[in-house]
Chains A and B, each alone.
Chain A
Amino acid sequence: MKRLAIVAAVLLAGTSAFAQTGGRELLRDADFSGQIIKETPPAGANCAETALWSLRRQLTGRDLYEPANYMFVRQAIHEIGFIPAVFATSDRILRDTKIGTVSAIPNPVDGRIHEGPEAYSLKRAAGRSSAADPDPSGAFGSRKGRGPACGEAPLRGLVQGSSPAAHWVSQDYDFVQYLIDNDLKKDARQLLFGGDFQPSDTLTFLRGWTLYQLKELEQANKYLGAVSSASAFYDKAFFYSNAVSAHLGDYVSPAARLEAYSGPYAELKGVQLAGFALLRDDPDAFKSAAGAFRYNDFKLATAEHELDDIFELRYDKPQKSPLLAAAASALIPGLGKIYAGQLGEGISTFLITGAMGGITAEHWIKDGPKDWKTIVPAVLTGILYIGNIYGSYMSVSIYNSHLYDAQETAVLYNIHIPLRSVFQ
């Protein structure tokens, strides 16, 4: 044994020495250009937009919206027409202030609010105003089919041929767990995909689990979904596969698989089915699935209550009227936005429109209505005022859209996170 250890040590030392040569060459070839802070105008910006980008850097403001207002105009003209684009942009300017964005929830990845001209599409607003409308053109519908349906593609490479020397992965199970637990997931992937193992459900599960840990969800889903029901890992793989499918935007095939499931986790099945029903905007399916809720298992009770709350908020409360929001903003600028649930935007709109109105009134009184010093602020005030009405009409749809997005995130969370406790 001692001799074997010495052989290993010599080999190790040899490889180690080989690997550590060439330091100066590495220093010579190193490239750090990726670390330089580069300031470039947004992709696709024309001359005017590049000039505005240069100017914008010298001015303050939240600048939270993506695309930035100076890029938004051209896109909006292209997508919703010139006049709506003018009013949509003016509404966006009214909202894009410190007060206006106080309650906004930026994207956690880049800290910005992603809202393009499609938010101001009247067609979309009509689709959104009816919460129970299963129209697939809405945000939920647009997500459908984004990812691959579970098990729809042939799972090439899942079952590989093996050499006679191949061994069972169960012999390496502890080592794989050690690699994953010690944040050496890439090593685990290398072992499982580079090693010569006998095909087995355990191997398929471990591959899927490692890819899931590496957040390579599409591939993880293929492997987790391919674990057979005879495996000891079937239930864990099955429910994680459903959760991963949901994150990939497939809400249909996992629900069908769940309906056919008859294993020991009936309540968990109910939670996931209820979540998928909400993601598909199907209140009847939710009521049916929620019948399995027992509220007494601490691992699932929180998720069950939160799904119930989302259901109640979405279907049991009266919907807000875009027309009423527009009328309220016509009466007092910003009031419609407050009605739609956007207090900060309402106050911001009121202050800016009011300030422009005050400037116009001062010039009207001192210079008369025909003086250019009155006409210029009056035109600007008019655009902002109409933009405020238009924006308030749309804000119900935008609010619903943001609400649905937030609810979707909450539902995804609630069909995923309890799995960690259940399959600890």
Chain B
Amino acid sequence: MHRKRLFCTISIFLCALFSSRAQNLDSLAVGYERIVFEGAGLAETNDALLAKAGCYKQLGRYRDASATLARVRLFALSPEERTAVQYQQELCWFLAGDFKQAASLIEEVGDGSSDALLLHALALAYNGQYDESEIYAARFISWDGPSERLPELLALYASHPRVPDATTSMVLSFFPPLGHFYNGEIGEGLLSGSLNLAALAFTVANFVSGYWVTGLIGGGIALNYTYMGNLQRTSALVEKHRVNDPIAFGDKLRSFLLQ
């Protein structure tokens, strides 16, 4: 019975392999999954999963490829094979845009090849870990010996975006518009500062003129909107820079390293 099933599996696999290319990869992926389902041995299962991940990679389904690679039984592989699989996993996470997951695999992948160094440098840069990234990038361009481009690379890293500190930003935002200025948003900061100043002036002017109700209620509402709004906006700006700046820097680094 088992022999018959295996024969059937391989027949289907061969049909899938030699079918037209457009449908090929999707069908192949299913064919490989069938091998896993049919209860193949450990080595065949791993091969099938690797090949299936390869299909997904070719199709641009990097997240699916990473998930498939995560199912590979690493304990059954040699150290070299394990490193290769984990490199592919890191690459797929990176291409899927999950830089944190990609960076988490750096230690397992190690630094045994220039491709690995390149990928580590990029994963760390896109994840906002510039200092660690710089080390891998420098080792990458010096892989074949001392590189003339090293000073240029160091200059690029010297101009990396500053990672805004959420606590500093929050403390500064208590004094509008310092939080905005800290995040590099001068125009928005001036607008926020003007709104807060106007609300404060309105409140004080009413108190000084003896309009207690207007000062207390009207000024209170206005200040609540402008001051609390300043705090919220500063927090949103930190998040925006935390996400956007590493991507912008990573794009620059990528084009530099892949020249």
Q: Interface extent on A, as a size class?
A: 35 or more
Given A8-B44, A36-B244, A23 and B232 contact (CB-CB distance below 8 Å): no
Our pick among A30, A58, A175, A358 for the contact of B230 (Cβ within 8 Å) is A58
Chain B residues with CB under 8 A of A58: 188, 191-192, 195, 226, 229-230, 233
Residue of A nearest to B187 (CB): A54
Residues 22-47 of A, flagged 1 when their CB comes within 8 A of B and 0 if not, give 01101110101111110100000000
Q: Quick one: closest A residue to B31, CB to CB?
A: A191
Q: Is B91 touching A26 in the complex (CB atoms < 8 A)?
A: yes
> How far does the alpha carbon of A179 sit from the alpha carbon of B30 in the complex, in Å?
9
Q: B176's closest neighbor in chain A, by CB?
A: A58
- Whether the Cβ atoms of A358 and B217 lie closer than 8 Å is yes
CA distance A195 to B221 in the complex (A): 66
Question: A residues within 8 A CB of B30?
Answer: 179, 187, 190-191, 194
Asked if A16 is at the interface of the complex by the 8 Å CB criterion, the answer is yes
B194 to A, closest residue via Cβ: A58
Nearest CB in chain B to that of A61: its residue: B225
Residue of B7, B34, B58, B218 near A4 (CB, 8 A) is B7
In angstroms, how far is the closest chain B Cβ from the Cβ of A157? 16
Smallest distance from the beta carbon of B203 to chain A beta carbons, Å?
Answer: 12
**With A19-B55, A54-B191 in contact, do A366 and B211 touch (Cβ < 8 Å)?**
yes
- Cα-based distance from A178 to B43 in the complex (angstroms): 21
Interface-centre pick from A12, A26, A61 (highest chain B CB count, 10 A): A12
Q: Chain B residues near A54 (CB, 8 Å)?
A: 191
The answer on a CB contact under 8 Å between A24 and B27 is no
The answer to whether the Cβ of A57 comes within 8 Å of any Cβ in the partner chain is yes
Residues in B neighbouring A359, C-beta threshold 8 A:
213-214, 217-218
Indicate if B109 sits at the interface (CB-CB under 8 A).
no
Question: In the bound complex, how far is the Cα of B10 from the Cα of A371, in angstroms?
Answer: 93
Q: Is the CB of B43 within 8 A of A9?
A: yes
| Cα(A377)–Cα(B126), bound, Å | 53
With A35-B243, A363-B214 as contacts: A24 and B233 at CB distance below 8 Å: no
Tell me whether A24 and B115 are in contact in the complex, defined as CB-CB below 8 angstroms, given that A9-B47, A11-B13, A359-B213 are known contacts: yes
Residues of B within 8 A of A191 (CB): 30
Q: Contact between A37 and B57 (Cβ–Cβ < 8 Å)? A: no
Residues of A within 8 A of B27 (CB): 190, 194-195
* Residues of the A chain whose Cβ atoms lie less than 8 Å from the Cβ of B58: 19
Q: Is the CB of A23 within 8 A of B226?
A: no
Knowing A16-B51, A24-B115, the reply to whether A363 touches B239 (Cβ < 8 A) is: no
Given contacts A34-B97, A175-B34, A363-B211, 17 further A-B contacts (CB under 8 A): A5-B44, A9-B44, A12-B44, A12-B47, A16-B51, A20-B88, A28-B254, A35-B97, A35-B243, A37-B243, A58-B188, A179-B30, A179-B37, A195-B27, A358-B217, A366-B210, A366-B211
Nearest 6 pairs of A and B residues by beta carbon: A19-B54, A60-B228, A59-B229, A12-B47, A60-B229, A362-B213
